[in-house]
Amino acid sequence: MLRIYDAENIIDAQLALDELKAGGLDCCMKGQHLMGGVGEIPPSGVITLWISAPQHEQRARDIIREYEDGKRSEQPSRPCPKCGEIIEGNFGRCWNCNAFLD
């Protein structure tokens, strides 16, 4: 087993794991059971992703790099110009008042 990724949180870990699996890699998550109570944010590095075949390391790292690039290119949340609701960056319209965002 080879450690390939330190996740920020369980959601980050699951998304990255899905990408690795989509890339055909045999991988697994460790540390998700070490989390504390509900709502508690574990420190970075607690949840890790591992691949079973070290010869696939380069491919796995490429997938992780693309995944991280994708995270960075996400648009930040912004307020609706009409009603002020906070809209997540991926949405082009306000879910509250239907105004278009630019």
Chain contacts with Zn ion (rule: CB under 5 A): 80, 82-83, 85, 94, 96-97, 99
Question: Of 44 and 98, which has the nearer Cβ to Zn ion?
Answer: 98
Question: Of 30 and 78, which has the nearer Cβ to Zn ion?
Answer: 78
**DSSP notation for 36-66:** -STT--PPTTSSEEEES-GGGHHHHHHHHHH
Question: Of 11 and 97, which has the nearer Cβ to Zn ion?
Answer: 97
Distances (CA, A) of 89 to 5, 66, 94: 26, 19, 10
Question: Of 70 and 79, which has the nearer Cβ to Zn ion?
Answer: 79
Three-class SS state of 89: coil
Work out how close the CB of 53 gets to Zn ion at its nearest, in angstroms, rounded to a whole number: 49
Work out how close the CB of 19 gets to Zn ion at its nearest, in angstroms, rounded to a whole number: 33
Give backbone dihedrals phi and psi of 16, rounded to 5 degrees, phi first: -65, -40
Contact 7, 48 (CB under 8 A): yes
Work out how close the CB of 102 gets to Zn ion at its nearest, in angstroms, rounded to a whole number: 13
